[in-house]
Amino acid sequence: MKRAILKTMLMWALAVPGAAWAWGPEGHAVVGDIAARHLTPRAQKQVRVLLQDKNRRLGDYEISCWADEIKGSKDYEKLYPDNGLWHFVDFDTFMHYDEDFELKPPADGQDVVDQIVRWQKVLGAKDSTPAQKLDALRFLVHFVGDMHQPLHCAFRCGDMGGNMIPVNSFKGKNYSFGPQTPMDYPPSIHSAWDESMVLELMAGRSRSAFAKFLLEGIGPEQMQWWSQGKPMDWATDSYWRARKQAYRWTNGENLPYKWARPGMDLTSENYIDSRLPMAQEQLQKAGVRLAFLLNEALDPKYVKPPKPEPKEDSAAPAK
């Protein structure tokens, strides 16, 4: 999609109250909470200094959701022009890629991949001021979460990462809404991933209980694997998860392309349950990778986890 057109559409979306552009607050909070548990002691100390309050945490909304709060702000638009474009990267799911094709972010650097790289450097730079480092920290916490929401790294037919594809109802086992449910904004497949999938996964747990649940599912080998690569690798992985899963029903067929309401009815059987494991893993990955980036920036003695050896099948395949 052309960046000028995209920017125009972005400004339109920001004018709509409650327009969904990221994991909801619950998703961003738990990413920060997971990361906080995997910081080195030195990185933890540096984060506490930047947050200026021993009771403030990375997952707190004023930290993890700050980058969303400043979108559309005239003051921050002057300070950080076009910051609304920094929350996603556009990779077209209709492109035909051969095995040698390599996804690349736009050349202007106004995308989530380049901004993660940018703000990690600012956070780690000796000549950055405390105010710059705090903004860098808040941007990183949010953008790493954004990158792992699959529909922040893909689009179909100019649908703005699924923002233009309406959803009529969401019928999960733990969370539901219907056409008569009061909503802050018209639901879409993008907003279903932002919030509904996370609320379904939370299953009524508190924020702390949800973070504990996700942390318990992260083993040492996953820590090693998920700490490998660079932001572009992680965005590419999110792209393929959008293309192969988020944009498809449970049976593998493509979601409809219609932009007209009332839109799709998502149920546990036709979509939700088959996509929950991926939603859970994306949140866990985001937390681990955020910790990795913060440790790299704030702890000079930090050593990246070694890449684990691939497992060899010890048993013959079942017949």
Kindly state the tokens that stand for 92.
């077209």
In the DSSP assignment, the letter for residue 152 is G
239 or 314, greater pLDDT: 239
Q: Is 39 left (phi over 0), alpha (psi -120 to 50) or beta?
A: beta
Q: Which of the four pLDDT bands, split at 50, 70 and 90, describes residue 5?
A: very low
pLDDT digits (tens, 9 = 90+) for 76-131: 999 999 999 999 999 999 887 666 678 989 999 999 999 999 999 999 999 999 99
Has residue 194 got a pLDDT over 80?
yes
pLDDT digits (tens, 9 = 90+) for 205-228: 999 999 999 999 999 999 999 999
Instruction: Say if CB 250 and CB 160 are below 8 A apart.
Output: no
Q: Is 72 exposed, middle or buried (0-12, 13-18, 19+ CB in 10 A)?
A: middle
Burial per residue of 111-124, b for 16 or more beta-carbon CB atoms within 10 angstroms, e otherwise: bbbbbbebbbebbb
Task: Report the residue count for the chain.
Answer: 319
DSSP track, 238-299: HHHHIIIIITB-TTSPBPP----SS-EEEEIIIIIHHHHHHHHHHHHHHHHHHHHHHHHHH-
Q: Mean of the per-residue pLDDT values for the chain? A: 90
Distance of CA 128 to the CA centre of its chain: 26
Has residue 318 got a pLDDT over 50?
no
Q: Which of the four pLDDT bands, split at 50, 70 and 90, describes residue 20?
A: very low
Q: Superfamily for 3-163+206-252+282-298?
A: P1 Nuclease (1.10.575.10)
Among 218, 159, 166, 213, residue whose Cα is nearest residue 189: 166
Sheet with 264-267, side-by-side order of all strands: 176-177, 167-171, 264-267
Has residue 6 got a pLDDT over 80?
no
Which residues fall within 8 angstroms of residue 204, CB to CB, at 6 or more apart? 174
Has residue 135 got a pLDDT over 90?
yes
Task: State the pLDDT at residue 310.
Answer: 73
